[in-house]
Amino acid sequence: MGGALGGASAGAYGGWIFGWRPTPVINPVLLTVGGVTGAFAVCGGVLLYEYRGRFADISRVLFYSLIPTLTAAIAGFFIILAHDIAGNYFGPFDSRLRNLEGGAYIGAIGGATLGIQVGSTFLLCRLKQKREGR
Protein backbone atom coordinates (compact mmCIF):
# COMPACT_ATOMS: atom_id res chain seq x y z
CA MET A 1 0.00 0.00 0.00
CA GLY A 2 2.85 2.36 0.81
CA GLY A 3 4.44 1.68 -2.56
CA ALA A 4 1.22 2.59 -4.35
CA LEU A 5 0.81 5.83 -2.39
CA GLY A 6 4.43 6.87 -2.85
CA GLY A 7 4.36 5.84 -6.49
CA ALA A 8 1.17 7.80 -7.13
CA SER A 9 2.62 11.01 -5.75
CA ALA A 10 5.95 10.56 -7.54
CA GLY A 11 4.18 9.54 -10.75
CA ALA A 12 1.84 12.53 -10.60
CA TYR A 13 4.83 14.84 -10.22
CA GLY A 14 6.62 13.10 -13.09
CA GLY A 15 3.51 13.24 -15.27
CA TRP A 16 3.14 16.94 -14.57
CA ILE A 17 6.77 17.76 -15.37
CA PHE A 18 7.57 15.31 -18.17
CA GLY A 19 4.17 14.34 -19.56
CA TRP A 20 3.56 17.30 -21.83
CA ARG A 21 6.22 16.79 -24.47
CA PRO A 22 6.11 16.47 -28.24
CA THR A 23 7.95 13.14 -28.09
CA PRO A 24 6.62 9.58 -28.19
CA VAL A 25 5.55 7.96 -24.93
CA ILE A 26 7.99 5.49 -23.35
CA ASN A 27 7.23 1.86 -24.12
CA PRO A 28 5.46 0.29 -21.10
CA VAL A 29 7.54 -2.88 -21.52
CA LEU A 30 10.76 -0.93 -21.00
CA LEU A 31 9.23 0.96 -18.10
CA THR A 32 8.19 -2.26 -16.35
CA VAL A 33 11.44 -4.12 -17.00
CA GLY A 34 13.54 -1.18 -15.86
CA GLY A 35 11.58 -0.67 -12.65
CA VAL A 36 11.59 -4.33 -11.68
CA THR A 37 15.28 -4.76 -12.49
CA GLY A 38 16.20 -1.70 -10.46
CA ALA A 39 14.17 -2.80 -7.44
CA PHE A 40 15.58 -6.33 -7.66
CA ALA A 41 19.09 -4.86 -7.63
CA VAL A 42 18.24 -2.77 -4.55
CA CYS A 43 16.85 -5.84 -2.75
CA GLY A 44 19.94 -7.83 -3.66
CA GLY A 45 22.22 -5.07 -2.41
CA VAL A 46 20.42 -4.78 0.92
CA LEU A 47 20.50 -8.55 1.41
CA LEU A 48 24.19 -8.69 0.50
CA TYR A 49 24.88 -6.00 3.08
CA GLU A 50 22.83 -7.78 5.72
CA TYR A 51 24.53 -11.11 5.07
CA ARG A 52 27.97 -9.44 4.93
CA GLY A 53 28.62 -10.29 1.29
CA ARG A 54 27.91 -14.02 1.48
CA PHE A 55 26.01 -14.49 -1.77
CA ALA A 56 25.53 -18.20 -1.16
CA ASP A 57 23.33 -17.39 1.86
CA ILE A 58 20.93 -15.18 -0.07
CA SER A 59 20.83 -16.91 -3.44
CA ARG A 60 17.85 -19.07 -2.43
CA VAL A 61 15.92 -16.06 -1.09
CA LEU A 62 16.51 -14.12 -4.30
CA PHE A 63 15.50 -17.11 -6.39
CA TYR A 64 12.26 -17.67 -4.48
CA SER A 65 11.47 -13.96 -4.58
CA LEU A 66 11.34 -14.15 -8.37
CA ILE A 67 7.89 -15.78 -8.16
CA PRO A 68 6.04 -12.88 -6.48
CA THR A 69 8.23 -10.37 -8.32
CA LEU A 70 7.37 -11.68 -11.76
CA THR A 71 3.71 -12.15 -10.83
CA ALA A 72 3.41 -8.54 -9.64
CA ALA A 73 5.37 -7.20 -12.62
CA ILE A 74 3.23 -9.08 -15.13
CA ALA A 75 0.02 -7.95 -13.40
CA GLY A 76 1.20 -4.31 -13.36
CA PHE A 77 2.23 -4.50 -17.00
CA PHE A 78 -1.13 -5.87 -18.08
CA ILE A 79 -3.01 -3.26 -16.06
CA ILE A 80 -1.05 -0.50 -17.79
CA LEU A 81 -1.74 -2.06 -21.20
CA ALA A 82 -5.40 -2.89 -20.54
CA HIS A 83 -6.24 0.67 -19.55
CA ASP A 84 -4.02 2.14 -22.29
CA ILE A 85 -2.69 4.72 -19.89
CA ALA A 86 -0.08 5.93 -22.35
CA GLY A 87 -2.65 6.55 -25.07
CA ASN A 88 -5.37 7.96 -22.83
CA TYR A 89 -3.34 10.38 -20.76
CA PHE A 90 -0.25 11.32 -22.75
CA GLY A 91 -1.51 12.29 -26.19
CA PRO A 92 -0.19 15.31 -28.09
CA PHE A 93 -3.23 17.44 -27.22
CA ASP A 94 -3.78 16.40 -23.59
CA SER A 95 -3.66 18.94 -20.80
CA ARG A 96 -1.20 18.93 -17.96
CA LEU A 97 -3.98 17.77 -15.65
CA ARG A 98 -4.47 14.65 -17.80
CA ASN A 99 -0.69 14.11 -17.72
CA LEU A 100 -0.74 14.41 -13.93
CA GLU A 101 -3.56 11.89 -13.70
CA GLY A 102 -1.84 9.42 -16.03
CA GLY A 103 1.44 9.79 -14.16
CA ALA A 104 -0.34 9.08 -10.89
CA TYR A 105 -1.85 5.90 -12.34
CA ILE A 106 1.45 4.66 -13.72
CA GLY A 107 3.23 5.57 -10.49
CA ALA A 108 0.65 3.82 -8.32
CA ILE A 109 0.83 0.64 -10.41
CA GLY A 110 4.63 0.71 -10.45
CA GLY A 111 4.87 1.51 -6.75
CA ALA A 112 2.49 -1.29 -5.79
CA THR A 113 4.43 -3.72 -7.98
CA LEU A 114 7.74 -2.75 -6.44
CA GLY A 115 6.26 -2.75 -2.93
CA ILE A 116 5.11 -6.34 -3.42
CA GLN A 117 8.55 -7.23 -4.74
CA VAL A 118 10.53 -5.65 -1.92
CA GLY A 119 8.13 -6.81 0.78
CA SER A 120 8.08 -10.41 -0.38
CA THR A 121 11.85 -10.53 -0.71
CA PHE A 122 12.41 -9.29 2.82
CA LEU A 123 9.66 -11.54 4.17
CA LEU A 124 11.42 -14.54 2.65
CA CYS A 125 14.72 -13.31 4.10
CA ARG A 126 13.26 -13.02 7.60
CA LEU A 127 11.63 -16.44 7.38
CA LYS A 128 14.96 -17.94 6.33
CA GLN A 129 16.71 -16.25 9.26
CA LYS A 130 14.05 -17.48 11.69
CA ARG A 131 14.32 -21.02 10.40
CA GLU A 132 18.11 -20.91 10.85
CA GLY A 133 17.76 -19.50 14.37
CA ARG A 134 19.43 -16.12 13.76
6-48 pLDDT, tens digit per residue, is 878 777 777 767 777 777 777 777 777 787 788 778 777 877 8
Write down the pTM of the prediction: 0.70
Average predicted confidence (pLDDT) for the chain: 77
Domain ranges of the chain: 2-20+34-132
At 92, the pLDDT band (50, 70, 90 cuts) reads low
42-72 pLDDT, tens digit per residue, is 777 877 887 777 777 777 777 777 788 788 8
C-alpha 17: how far from its chain's center?
A: 20
